[in-house]
Amino acid sequence: MGLDYKSAGVDIEAGYASVELIKKHVASTMRPEVLGGIGGFSGAFSAAALKGMEEPILLSGTDGVGTKIKLAFLMDKHDTIGIDCVAMCVNDVACAGGEPLFFLDYIACGKNEPEKIAQIVKGVADGCKQAGCALVGGETAEHPGLMPEDEYDLAGFSVGLADRKDLITGENIKPGDTLIAIASSGVHSNGFSLVRKVFDMTKESLATEYAELGTTLGEALLVPTRIYVKALKAVKDAGLVIKGCSHITGGGFYENIPRMLPNGIRAVIRRDSYDVPAIFKLIAQVGGVEESMMYNTFNMGVGMVLAVDSKDAASVIEALDAAGETAFEIGYTEEGEKGIVIC
């Protein structure tokens, strides 16, 4: 018998089976602008919305889920990691004032197991529905010999749209503006390389119940990243202006909050403005991680920080609360070298 692709480690039939299993998940994310069905060589999306804008701007975001994916392997739970992937991309688009329109995913795996691929894509579709964007395409690549058979990696990207006048740039932030935090759902998708040093990454360790968490360590860590697209749209729809927006991802407070600030403005964050969630206290305690390193690595319970005019602060919090978020004043801006002070 001669060589074929299957004997080389690539199962074409498994690929076909994966596509059949994921079709219903993909279909659940459709928007009216999506043209054509599943299975074409590219995802077609109507750009008619651009006509109604004074100066349409396309925004894009791309990301993966980092080493959080290791937890999905160990817990054999693959239906939420896709939400993380979508969140990391669409939150960046929304952070700039854009509406995410569509999303594409890329899964590289050692061996294509159709049911597992379908679970991953279900999570991607769930994230897309939360963000209101369509899943218009993707790729599942089988890499025998390059990756272990039971492992995979997941990445994706989103394209969004905004009118230039609605872009959130941070350029109008002034001293005395109010900083509003929107709570995170947990560790989100950053800092897991440190988490994996703090805790033994075994099935037994992840199945350990912690009273302060109210659940197992694994379940607390695997909680998917919160998607803030609809929350930020609720603020805009209420006629309120977000001057600056920071998505708290890798690098925590110290790296991400200054990204929205103009030169000559610094952010002052008040420690006592909220209770840091138990998962972060546990990481710091078990790992002996210094406070400054915690704020430099993790979101510490804050998924986004918004800069708004102080007169709008109460209304912004009200709009976010009505959208189902937990929001609170976390600090303010003042004159000083661009950066942040936690006090």
Is 278 inside a domain boundary? yes
CATH number at residue 124: 3.30.1330.10
Q: H or E segment at 306? A: strand 302-308
pLDDT at 104: 97
The full DSSP string for 145-170 is TTB-TT-EEEEEEEEEEEEGGG---S
pLDDT at 186: 97
Output 66 or 15, whichever has higher pLDDT: 66
40 and 63 belong to one structural domain: yes
Is 146 inside a domain boundary? yes
Provide the β-strand partners of residue 215.
210
159 and 65 belong to one structural domain: yes
The pTM for the full model equals 0.94
pLDDT at 11: 63
Is 196 inside a domain boundary? yes
311 and 333 belong to one structural domain: yes
C-alpha closest to that of 24 among 118, 103, 127: 118
Average pLDDT over residues 154-183: 98
pLDDT of 93 > 80? The answer is yes
157 and 190 belong to one structural domain: no
The most distant pair of C-alpha atoms in the chain lies apart, rounded to whole Å, by 77
Is 7 inside a domain boundary? no
pLDDT at 39: 63
pLDDT at 22: 81
250 and 327 belong to one structural domain: yes
User: What are the structure tokens assigned to 19, written together?
Assistant: 């596509």
Cβ atoms of 101 and 53 within 8 Å: the answer is: no
98 and 211 belong to one structural domain: no
- pLDDT tens for 289-319 read 999 999 999 999 999 999 999 999 999 999 9
CATH number at residue 182: 3.90.650.10
From 144, 166, 188, the end of a domain falls on 166
pLDDT at 2: 63
pLDDT at 5: 58
204 and 246 belong to one structural domain: yes
Task: Look up the domain containing 328 and give its range.
Answer: 178-342
Average pLDDT over residues 188-204: 95
Provide the β-strand partners of residue 134.
102
One-letter amino acid of 3: L
Provide the β-strand partners of residue 332.
178, 268
Centroid of chain to Cα 241: 23
Q: H or E segment at 70? A: helix 69-75
pLDDT at 43: 82
C-alpha closest to that of 297 among 179, 169, 196, 154: 196
Q: Look at residue 52 and give its three-state secondary structure.
A: helix
- pLDDT tens for 255-293 read 999 999 999 999 999 999 999 999 999 999 999 999 999
Mean pLDDT across the chain: 94
Is 4 inside a domain boundary? no
pLDDT at 300: 98
Could you give the residue ranges of the DSSP H alpha helices within 96-228? 114-131, 192-198, 203-206, 217-222
Is 2 inside a domain boundary? no
Other Cβ atoms closer than 10 A to 170: 19
120 and 237 belong to one structural domain: no
Is 6 inside a domain boundary? no
198 and 283 belong to one structural domain: yes
pLDDT of 6 > 80? The answer is no
Is 82 inside a domain boundary? yes
223 and 152 belong to one structural domain: no
User: What are the structure tokens assigned to 215, written together?
Assistant: 């659940």
153 and 47 belong to one structural domain: yes
Provide the β-strand partners of residue 60.
159
How many structural domains are present in the chain? 2
140 and 82 belong to one structural domain: yes
From 166, 200, 217, the end of a domain falls on 166
Average pLDDT over residues 1-9: 61
User: What are the structure tokens assigned to 284, written together?
Assistant: 């710091």
